[in-house]
Amino acid sequence: MHPFALSRAEDPGAAIVAHASDPQLAFIAGGTDLIGLIKDRAARPAHLLDINSLPDMARIEPLPNGGLRIGALARMSDVAAHAEVRRRFPVIAEGLLFAASGQLRNMASMGGNIMQRTRCAYFRDEDPLPCNKRRPGSGCSALHGFNRNHAIFGWSEACVATNPSDVAVAFAAMDANVIVRGRTGERSIPFTEFHRLPGTTPERDTALGQGDLIVAIEVPPRVEGRASHYLKVRDRQSYEFALVSAAAAVATDGRRIRSARLAMGGVAHKPWRLVAAEAALRGVSLDDIHALERAIATSFTDARPLAHNVFKVELAQRVALRALETAGARV
């Protein structure tokens, strides 16, 4: 085990300064991802700064505009069980409940969840093969290796990994914002811009830099929120990451879709919004399966599957359709 020093932060300002001035320092919340990465030698921080005592970061509270603010230190299980989250954004509650295990969800924080790193086996292996995310410039073993679990959208020659967070997919569909406090004050990052595509720098997963602390995630008051659903397909029914998943939400006039929100997990380096499908779904009847299928297909014309995940192109469209139908049944 890689040795590290551990200290506790009591003040957010001091935590941000400490993080900004020391590239060897990492924040730790639940530790359910970071400790695993340290054990796998995929992270080697010299200093862990425990942020669990920082004030006001574990609350789940309504916003004046009708939205919800979810503190970065709120635990996954508390958010999933929260009455307002369940009532107004079932897609978020389900995105959490289908993740990990009960024990992990009790420990794991929301900020840590959206910061978790890819589950690409080449990246996680204790004795890794070439991996640009782990050792920039070393190559990507998955590109021509075993890539069944990898991306079909937005990948580059440098990295074909997917983002493993379930609830991130729900947040992307709901147009949530990540509230970050840094050296120059607080800023709000649209969820769809929080995670990055790999490009030539796959070692960077998010828009955050040194000295950035996630304080909350804010969900705007979307009309589609109540009629929403998260569907996750995986190799076993619990305690498993998504092969493919979909977050769907709709607002309707009768049975006709007024607006739809669709995002997918397990298909890209970030939650993948089906923007073309959302536009094509406007005005379509929820009872017209073929029209729904055609609308969803508009977002798959640029899918680029790898050698072992061609099946994901069809599976993802089926998952999106089923998620949309279930959301529609909740109108």
Contacts with ligand FAD, residue ranges (CB under 6 A): 26-34, 36, 51, 72, 99-100, 104, 107-109, 111-113, 115-116, 164-166, 213-214, 241
- Is there a contact between 274 and 262 (Cβ–Cβ < 8 Å)? yes
Q: Whole-number minimum distance, CB 254 to ligand FAD, in Å? A: 35
- By C-beta, is 7 or 200 nearer to ligand SF4? 200
**How far is 329 from 309, CA to CA, in rounded Å?**
31
**How far is 50 from 52, CA to CA, in rounded Å?**
6
* Of 19, 82, 105, 133, the one binding ligand SF4 by CB under 6 A: 133
Helices 289-297 and 311-328: crossing angle in degrees, nearest 10, is 130
Q: Whole-number minimum distance, CB 158 to ligand SF4, in Å? A: 6
Work out whether strand 68-71 and strand 60-62 pair parallel, antiparallel, or are unpaired: antiparallel
* Of 140, 167, 295, 320, the one binding ligand SF4 by CB under 6 A: 140
Partner whose binding site includes residue 26, from ligand FAD, ligand SF4, none (CB under 5 to 8 Å by kind):
ligand FAD
**How far is 282 from 155, CA to CA, in rounded Å?**
29
Q: Whole-number minimum distance, CB 30 to ligand FAD, in Å? A: 3
Evaluate the CA torsion angle 7, 164, 106, 215 in order and state its sign.
positive
CA distances from 228 to 90, 249, 329 (A): 6, 4, 9
Tokens representing 158 are 């440098």
Partner whose binding site includes residue 28, from ligand SF4, ligand FAD, none (CB under 5 to 8 Å by kind):
ligand FAD
Partner whose binding site includes residue 142, from ligand FAD, ligand SF4, none (CB under 5 to 8 Å by kind):
ligand SF4
* Of 131, 176, 217, 260, the one binding ligand SF4 by CB under 6 A: 131
Tokens representing 272 are 């993948």
* Of 77, 109, 116, 132, the one binding ligand SF4 by CB under 6 A: 132
- By C-beta, is 56 or 287 nearer to ligand FAD? 56
Which region holds residue 137: left if phi is over 0, alpha if psi is between -120 and 50, else beta? left
* Of 122, 153, 194, 300, the one binding ligand SF4 by CB under 6 A: 122
Contact pattern from residue 159 through residue 198 relative to ligand SF4, giving x for each residue in contact according to CB under 6 A and a dash for the rest: xxx-------------------------------------
Find the part of the chain contacting ligand SF4 (CB under 6 A) among 2-10, 13-21, 54-62, 157-165: 157-165
288-295: Cβ within 8 A, 24+ apart: 289/321, 292/321, 292/324, 292/325, 293/317, 293/321
Q: Tell me the residue number closest to ligand FAD, measured at CB.
A: 112
Partner whose binding site includes residue 317, from ligand SF4, ligand FAD, none (CB under 5 to 8 Å by kind):
none
Per this entry, what is the length of the chain? 331
Amino acid of residue 137: G
* Of 141, 149, 299, 309, the one binding ligand SF4 by CB under 6 A: 141
Partner whose binding site includes residue 113, from ligand SF4, ligand FAD, none (CB under 5 to 8 Å by kind):
ligand FAD
CA distances from 204 to 74, 116, 199, 300 (A): 25, 12, 10, 26
Residues that bind ligand SF4 (CB under 6 A): 118, 120, 122-123, 131-133, 140-142, 159-161, 202
